[in-house]
Structures are given as C-alpha cells and as structure tokens.
A = this chain, B = another copy of it.
Amino acid sequence: MDTRIILPQSEIPRAWYNPLPDLPTPLAPPLDPETKEPLTPEKLEPIFPRALIEQEMSGEREIAIPEEVRNTYSLWRPTPLVRAKRLEEAIGSKSRIYYKDESVSPTGSHKPNTAVAQAYFNKAAGISRLATETGAGQWGAALAFASRMLGLDCTVYMVRVSFEQKPYRRILIRTYDGEVHPSPSEHTKTGAEMLRQDPECKGSLGLAISEAVEDAAMNGDANYSLGSVLNHVLLHQTVMGLETKKQLEMAGQNPDYVIGCVGGGSNFAGMMLPFLPDKLEGKPINFVAAEPKACPTLTKGDFRYDYGDMTKLTPLIKMYTLGHSFMPPPIHSGGLRYHGGAPIMCNLVREGLVQAKSYFQEECFEAARLFQATEGYLPAPETSHAIKSAIDTAKQAEPGSNVVFLYSGHGLLDLAAYDAYLRSELGNYELPGESIEQALQSCPDVE
C-alpha cells in the first residue's frame, strides 16, 4: 500500500458540507453591534455578495461547488492523504498516523480553498475587486492568488510591523498582482486618521480589518473577504474533510482521532466537520482542537457574545473568547493568535463534541522538528500544534487506532521562526489566570 493516498481530480467534491442543519443546538444568531438585535442579512450586503450571505445561514446540508471553482481547485486538489510511517516508527506508535497535506497548494496552506470560492461568488455578483487584511500574510497571499486566477483585483491591508519585518509573503502577494498597503495606510479614513495621531503606528490586525471593511463599504466595485471564523469560510474548507473521508475509505480505515490546529478554526473545522454526521450517528470518533497555551481561547476562554475584532466593528458573535481586547504574547504561530473562534467550532466544543487541548510553543517546535526529521518536510509553526497533538495522541491511543491530522501548511516562509528556535530564543508563554480574567472584562454585557 502506498504511503500517499491520491484521489483522481474527478473526485474533487461536487458539494461542500454545511453542518448548520446537523448541529444538535442551533447557533446563537450574530447581533448587530449597535442595536444588539439579531443581524439582518441586508446589513451584510455592502461588503459581501448575496450568495455568501445565503451560505452563511443556509439550512441545506449540501451546497454545490461551481465548476469554475472545482476547475481552479484542480490546480492542486485533491491533496494527498499521507501515512506518516517514519514518524510512527520514530515514536514507537502502535497507531497509524495520517496527515492531510494542504501545504501543496500554490501559496502553501489550506487558505486558497475558501479564497477561490469567495473570489468566484464575488465575481459572479459583478464585483471586480476584493479587499482584505492580513497579518503574517498567509491569507493575503491566498486571496491574491485566488483573485489572480479568477480575474479580480485584490487589495491587501497588511499590518505594518509584518509588512516591514516579513517581506517574503508581501512579495508573494505582489507576484500575484495583489496591491499591498502597510496598515495604517493613507488609503482609508481610518488609516489616515490613525497616521495623523501616530505617524509611527505599527498597526494591528483589528486596524487592518477596519481599513479593508471601509474600503469595501465605500467602493461599490469592491467587497470584503475574511479568511476564517465565518460559517461560509468553514463551509468551503470542508473539501479537505470530504476528500479525507474518501481517502480513508480507499485505505480501508476508519478515523479514531481527527486533529487540527486552531486559530479562527477554519482549518480544523474544514477537516472534522464532514466526519460530524458519523459521530452523531454513534461512531467513536474523537475530534481534537490544538491551540497554543499563549492564546487558549477554547481551553480558558468564556462562551459568550463578543466582538470579532478589537475595534468593535464586527457583529457580536457567540463564541469562546478571551475578550476582544486580548493581546496575545509574541508567539511565532501568527495564525493562532485570535481572541475568539468560529461559532460553529465553539458550538461543538460547548456541546462536548470537540475536545480542546493547549500546547507550549517549544514543544510544538520540537514536534515539528521530529516531523521534519522523519517525513522530510518543514511544517508551518501553526501546523506544529496539530503535529504535537497527533504525536501525543498516537502514543496514548489504543493500538491499531487511526490518528488523522490536518497538515495545514509548510514552513518555508517561516524560517525566521525556526532560526529563533535553533538559537533557543523562543521561550514559552502561558497566560496567567488573572490576565485572562482581565481581558474577559472587555466583553460586552449581552446575553
């Protein structure tokens, strides 16, 4: 049996799996940030196309994937499911370890799965440009790629400190003809105002979101795109889990553990959601969400309404949150530093259907190095959390178990982080209870 399980392109899923109708408890509705009343779809129309708003609240279990999206997916999909035999041997595992390899996409992560879909539905709605924010650049690169493939323009507001210190993903965005502005920028009122107050301002993700949303809301040709958290983003990411189901069937195996790292939650959810119906039918599948101890949203946060961003622009959403004012320590997993989490995923954690675990930064880098030393490839720091969790799980699992994790991206543009690790300059961060208590006080008083 091959260690890489490959599906033909004809097996790229024809429909995404929408978990909304299957959730044991329905999602609490997002609330208008001003009125605190449930949000109406019309409120979202200045920045999202109707098709995506419909997906956001659809009751259909299956939502068809348009042929142009499948066609673009075929540049890298279906992605391989790989049996990590050398890793198993190195840890003396009696379980099989499989990883779903999303690092093979053009920008090196799972992000293009939703970027391509979002670009498609915006284009179909007559939009000619997408605006978004990006921190380290993983999402910005994915959206620039997708826009290039679908023939849209793309404007990326990149947190200034990353723009200056991490030039590689910024250049990658430029190679896809994406326009990149360091945020705060002079291109929006929000940015210009901030620069007037503080010309040296290094920016923040919240501020970059504000700029991108303003750009989209003020310009009729442009819409806004978000790379995680929202229901439609998780929906698009289910292609990963849907393929994995088929691949495990080809290998004649059932999954016992499905593991992913968690920032906003889209990679983990995109992997595990297609297995949710099986679990609800009684199959003994364990879903494990791996997060950093430095940003322990699911393991230490409160389940309540909070803003999605620091600047309180977004609707209020019910989720596990550390408080929207939470400032995470400077860990190298830039994609895992979000104060909240996708409502669908938080709902499943709340129901006890998903188990959350948290890990120190250094033990994750150690796991990444072991993966690299055995399987050959260098993982992204974010992905290392899933690897650490998979290794721990495989060691403790019943012999013969199948441990499946999502390999969300490669680390070739994160080499500075590995350099810091090799120089023993990383350090561990665990939030003390008091500082979490304090951050949680920023949550609004809404039931």
Contact = CB atoms under 8 A, between A and B. Distances in A.
A415 B376 contact: no
A167 interface: yes
A4 B149 CA distance: 18
A372 B418 contact: no
B422 A175 contact: yes
A90 to B, nearest CB: 12
Contact of A416 (B4, B76, B171, B419): B171
B6 A2 contact: no
A376 B75 contact: yes
Contact of A167 (B86, B148, B177, B419): B419
Given A412-B108, A412-B412, A175 B418 contact: yes
A175 B4 CA distance: 24
B104 A172 contact: no
Contact of A413 (B6, B373, B412, B419): B412
Given A2-B9, A2-B10, A419 B171 contact: yes
Nearest to A418: B175
Nearest to A116: B376
A174 B422 contact: yes
A6 B3 contact: no
> How many protomers of this protein does the assembly include?
2
Contacts of A418: 171, 174-175
B378 A172 contact: yes
B74 A168 contact: no
B2 A415 contact: no
Contacts of A145: 376
Contacts of A74: 2-4
Contact of A372 (B6, B176, B372, B415): B176
Q: Which bracket fits the contact residues of A?
A: 35 or more
A207 to B, nearest CB: 25
Nearest to A106: B376
Contacts of A186: none
A369 interface: yes
Interface string A88-123: 000000000000000010101000000000000000
A250 to B, nearest CB: 12
Contacts of A4: 9, 74
A37 to B, nearest CB: 43
25 contacts: A2-B8, A2-B10, A2-B74, A3-B74, A4-B74, A6-B6, A75-B86, A75-B376, A75-B377, A76-B376, A106-B378, A108-B412, A167-B419, A168-B168, A168-B415, A171-B416, A171-B419, A171-B422, A172-B412, A172-B415, A174-B419, A174-B422, A175-B369, A175-B415, A177-B373
Given A2-B10, A4-B74, A412-B413, 9 more contacts: A3-B9, A3-B74, A75-B377, A76-B376, A167-B419, A172-B412, A172-B415, A175-B369, A175-B422
Interface of A: 2-4, 6, 8-10, 74-76, 86, 104, 106, 108, 145, 148-149, 167-168, 171-172, 174-177, 369, 372-373, 375-378, 412-413, 415-416, 418-419, 422
In the A-B complex, list the 7 residue pairs whose CB atoms are closest, starting with the nearest. A106-B376, A171-B415, A2-B9, A75-B376, A171-B419, A168-B415, A106-B377
